[in-house]
A and B are shown apart, each in its own frame.
Chain A
Amino acid sequence: MHAILPRALLATALFSSSCIVAPSDDTAADDTPTPDAEPACVYPTSTTLQGVGSVLAPIAWTSAVDNAGAFESLAMEDVYCRRGRFANIESVFFILVAEWCPNCPDYAAMVGQLTPDLEAENAMVVFVDLQTTNPPELPTTDSAQNYVSRYTANGWRVGEADGVVPGSIHDSPIWSAVPGCFVVRTRDMQVIANQEDTQFILPFLDIAKDLDADWSNPGPPAFVANCSEADEEAGEPNDTIPTATPLAAGATVEGGICTEAPDFFTIDLAGNWQIDLAFSSAEGDLDVYVMNEATGEPLVVGGEPVGSDGTTDTESFTHSGPATIVVLGFQGASTTYTLTLTDLGTPPAP
C-alpha cells in the first residue's frame, strides 16, 4: 500500500507563497544569506483555470500514482521549480476523464500509447479522474488508478478527491466535456492548449515539440499516407464525382486512400446491390457512403446518411438503383482497401 501524507501538512508545505530552496543548517541558524545561495523559486501568479492563457495554480494531490506505478504525492510547485525527478519536465498534459464517460477509455488508451513519445519530449502525462460513476462524486487516486489502468499502464494518475484542495480541476471552468486535455507549459505554468478548443484530437506530439507555437485553435490533423500511389486503384484519378470510376457487379477493386482525396465510384444497377469494403482499421479507418450528387454531400434518408461508417475492419450496406458512392478516410485516415459490389437482383413487384 501507499503512504499518504497528512493533507493539512502537505497543504502547508505546498501552498507556501514561494518554493525557496531549503537553506543549509548553517544559514538556518544565523539567517544570514550566503553569497552563492540559489535564487528563490517563486511560483507564477495564477489565474482562473478556464482555457488557453490561464496560469495554473500550484495545485497538488496528496496521493498520486507515478508513471512507474508507485504511489506518492504530486505538486505542481515541484514541477515548476524543477525539483528532483521533475528537473527536465517542460510540459504537463492533463488528461481529463470521468468514470461514467463511454469514450474516455479509447481516449485514455490513445494518449497512453503516445505517452512514451511525449515523455521523450520532456512532457509529463497526468490522467485526472474527475468523477466516479455517481456524479458529482470525486474519485480517490485509488479509484483513478483502478479505472485508468484498465486502458493504459503509462502516465501518472490522480483522483480529484485526493487533491490538497479536492476538486481543483473538477470545479474549474477548464472543462465542460470529457474526455478532455489541457497542456501546461512549465516554464510559466501557462495553459497553451485545450482539447475543448477544437473538435479534432489535439496534436499531442507537435505540441510537446513546440511549446511556443500558437495551439489555441488547432485545425485538422495533417494527412499522413499509409500507402503509396502504386497502391491506389486502377481507376485513379477518381477524386471527384465527375471522374468517378464505374464499378462492375461481381468485380473486386483493390485500392487505397493514399492521398487526401476520397475515391468515387459509379454503380449502374437498376435493382438492389450490396457494397462490401474491407481494410485494416488499425492502420486507417475508412467509411463508404452513397452521394447526393445535387448537394455534393452523402445522401441522407431518415436523418441518417446512406452508407456504412463503423469502426471495424469492414463496412457493408445495401441500396438500390444507379448511384455514386464515395470511399474516404476517417479524419484523414489512410490505408488500402478491397471494394466489392454484389448485384442482389431486382426485387419482385409489390
Chain B
Amino acid sequence: MIRRHVWSRWVRAGLCTAAVATTACPAVDDVTVDAGPDDDVDTDAGVEDLSRAADCPTSSPWVTDVSGRIVDEAGAGVADAFAQMCVRTNLGRLLCLRPTSSDADGAFVADIAANARCMERATMRVVKPQTDTATLYCAVPLTADVSTVVLPAPQVLVSTTPATTLPPEGDGLATQSVTFADGVVVDVAPAALPEGTWARLAARVLAVGDAPSCLRDDGPALQTLVAFSPELDIDGGGAAVRLPNRGALPAGTSVPVFALGSIDCRRADGSLVEEGHWEPLADGVVSADGASIDVVGVPCLTWLGVGQP
C-alpha cells in the first residue's frame, strides 16, 4: 500500500469549513496557495523569506534545506556524487528536486523549492554516475518543527563487483543467465534492460550489518541484502533471480523477498514499487539443493532484500 498522507489537501481546498465547526480549520477566504519562489522573495531586502507558508499545516514538516555527507565504505567523502530528493508534498504531489552535487569532502546542501517545502515525506537518492557503486535511497527523517534538516548518518555508497559470467547479448531477446560473486544469478533478456547497461552489470551481497544504516532502519527485517549496479528497471515480466541462502534454510522453505523501489520499478501488474521503499515481491523458495533462494518476476535491480521466513 502506498500511503500518500495527503489529507490536508481538502483543508486547503476549502472544504474544511464545510466539514467541521472548529477553529483548527482556516476560513475559506484565508486559504491561499503558495505562489512559488517569486512570492517568497522579499524584494526589499533581496533575501528569500524561508518562514513557514500560511497554508502549510503545522502538522506538516516545513523544510527549507537538507544537508548531509556522501561517503564510501571506508568513510571517506565522495566528491561529485549527486543527492537528489523526491518530496511528497502535503497536497499529495510527488516533486523531484534538481540534483545537488557533493563537494570534495562529500558534503552537500539541497535547497528545497518553495512549492515542495510543505512536505509529508521525502526520499534521498544518492548516485555517483558511471561508477560501480550502488545507487542509494534513504528516507529523509522529518519532524514538523525542523526546517533545516541535517541527515544524522552519512549516505554510504557501496561498491559492487562486475558479473563473473556475462553471456553475449546476442539478439537481446533470449533469456541469459548472468552470474555474480557470492552465488547471485540473474536470468533476464538483455533487451529488457536499458540500452548500454548489459556490459556494466554488477552486484554484491551484504550482511545486514554491512548495509547502509538507512536500509536497515527503515525497512522490514532482513537477513541478507544484495546491491546491484547500475540500478535497472526491467521491462516485461521481470527477472528470475537466485540469491544466496546464507541462513542455511531447508529446501522448499518460502522466504519473503523485498525490492527497494527505484525510478520506475513496476511489477508485471503495473503496480509501482515506490521509490526508496522496501516492498515485498513474490516469495522466494529455497532451491532443492539448498544453495539458493529463487524468486521470479523481479521488476528492478537496485537493492533486493531476503526477509525472515
Contact = CB atoms under 8 A, between A and B. Distances in A.
Interface stretch (A32-40, A59-67, A78-86, A193-201): A193-201
Given A262-B10, A296-B19, A331-B9, A136 B99 contact: yes
Contacts of B274: 102
Secondary structure class of chain B's binding surface, majority of residues: loop
A127 to B, nearest CB: 16
Interface of A is mostly: loop
B33 A200 contact: yes
Interface string A199-221: 11100000000000000111110
Contacts of B246: none
B37 interface: yes
A261 B125 CA distance: 38
Interface string B1-36: 111111111111111101111101100000001111
Contacts of A294: 22
Contact of A131 (B57, B99, B101): B99
A121 interface: no
Given A100-B84, A177-B116, A260-B18, A331 B13 contact: yes
A267 interface: no
Interface stretch (A14-22, A227-235, A270-278, A297-305): A297-305
Contact of A241 (B9, B19, B99, B263): B19
A89 interface: no
A197 B35 contact: yes
Contact of A297 (B2, B7, B97, B98): B7
Contacts of B125: 100
A256 interface: no
Contacts of B4: 287, 309-311, 330
B264 interface: yes
Contacts of A160: none
B37 A98 contact: no
Contact of A135 (B2, B84, B275): B84
Contact of B96 (A100, A134, A218): A100
Q: Chain B, interface size: which category?
A: 35 or more
A338 to B, nearest CB: 19
Interface string B186-197: 000000001100
Interface of B: 1-16, 18-22, 24-25, 33-39, 57, 59, 82, 84, 86-87, 89-99, 101, 113-116, 118, 125, 127, 129-130, 194-195, 230-231, 261, 263-264, 271-272, 274-275
Interface of A: 51-52, 98-105, 131, 133-137, 146, 175-179, 194, 196-201, 216-220, 239-242, 260-262, 264, 287, 289, 291, 293-298, 300, 304-305, 307-312, 326, 328, 330-332
Contacts of B7: 287, 289, 297-298, 305, 307, 309, 328
B96 A102 contact: yes
A136 B20 CA distance: 47
Given A176-B113, A287-B7, A311-B2, A296 B96 contact: no
B98 A102 contact: no
Contacts of B1: 308, 310
27 contacts: A100-B125, A102-B261, A102-B275, A103-B93, A131-B99, A133-B263, A135-B84, A136-B99, A175-B98, A177-B96, A178-B96, A198-B34, A198-B35, A199-B33, A199-B118, A217-B33, A239-B19, A261-B18, A262-B19, A296-B22, A298-B7, A304-B5, A309-B4, A310-B2, A312-B271, A326-B19, A330-B92
Contacts of A296: 16, 19-22, 24-25
Contacts of A146: 195
Contacts of A312: 271
